[in-house]
Copies of this chain bind each other. A is one copy, B any other.
Amino acid sequence: MTTQELVEQIYKKESFLCIGLDVDLNKIPKHLLEEEDPIFEFNKTIIDATHHLAVGYKPNIAFYEAYGVKGWKSLEKTIKYINTHYPEVFTIADAKRGDIGNTSTMYAKAFFEDLAFDSITVAPYMGKDSVEPFLAFENKHTILLALTSNQGAFDFQTKDTEGKELYKHVLEISKTYKNSENLMYVVGATKAEYLSDIREIIPDSFLLVPGVGAQGGSLQEVCKYGLNNQVGLLINSSRGIIYASDKLDYAKAAAKKALVLQTEMKKILQEGK
Q: Known contacts being A125-B123, A160-B161, A161-B166, is A100 close to B148, with CB within 8 Å?
A: yes
- Mark A64-94 against chain B: 1 for CB-CB distance below 8 A, else 0: 0111110011001000000000000000001
Interface residue A266 (Cβ < 8 Å from any Cβ of B): no
The quantity of this chain's copies bound in the complex is 2
Residues of B within 8 A of A225 (CB): none
Interface residue A109 (Cβ < 8 Å from any Cβ of B): yes
Q: Name which of A66, A149, A170 has the most chain B CB atoms within 10 A of its CB.
A: A66
A221 to B69, CA, bound (A): 41
The reply to whether A62 and B97 form a contact with Cβ atoms under 8 Å apart is yes
Interface residue A22 (Cβ < 8 Å from any Cβ of B): yes
Interface residue A6 (Cβ < 8 Å from any Cβ of B): no
User: Nearest-CB distance from A162 to chain B (Å)?
Assistant: 5
**In residues 111-141 of chain A, which contact B (Cβ within 8 Å)?**
114-115, 123-131
User: Nearest-CB distance from A42 to chain B (Å)?
Assistant: 16
Q: Name which of A24, A67, A126, A129 has the most chain B CB atoms within 10 A of its CB.
A: A126
| Contact size range, A | 35 or more
Q: Name which of A104, A110, A125 has the most chain B CB atoms within 10 A of its CB.
A: A125
The reply to whether A173 and B161 form a contact with Cβ atoms under 8 Å apart is no
The reply to whether A114 and B173 form a contact with Cβ atoms under 8 Å apart is no
The reply to whether B63 and A149 form a contact with Cβ atoms under 8 Å apart is no
Interface residue A216 (Cβ < 8 Å from any Cβ of B): no
Interface residue A60 (Cβ < 8 Å from any Cβ of B): yes
Residues of B within 8 A of A96 (CB): 97-99, 123, 126
**In residues 15-33 of chain A, which contact B (Cβ within 8 Å)?**
22, 24
Residue of B nearest to A176 (CB): B155
A67 to B106, CA, bound (A): 9
A107 to B148, CA, bound (A): 18
Interface residue A150 (Cβ < 8 Å from any Cβ of B): yes
The reply to whether A129 and B150 form a contact with Cβ atoms under 8 Å apart is yes
Interface residue A244 (Cβ < 8 Å from any Cβ of B): no
Residue of B nearest to A167 (CB): B125
Q: Name which of A98, A100, A107, A170 has the most chain B CB atoms within 10 A of its CB.
A: A100
The reply to whether B62 and A106 form a contact with Cβ atoms under 8 Å apart is yes
Interface residue A103 (Cβ < 8 Å from any Cβ of B): yes
Residues of B within 8 A of A269 (CB): none
The reply to whether B155 and A166 form a contact with Cβ atoms under 8 Å apart is no
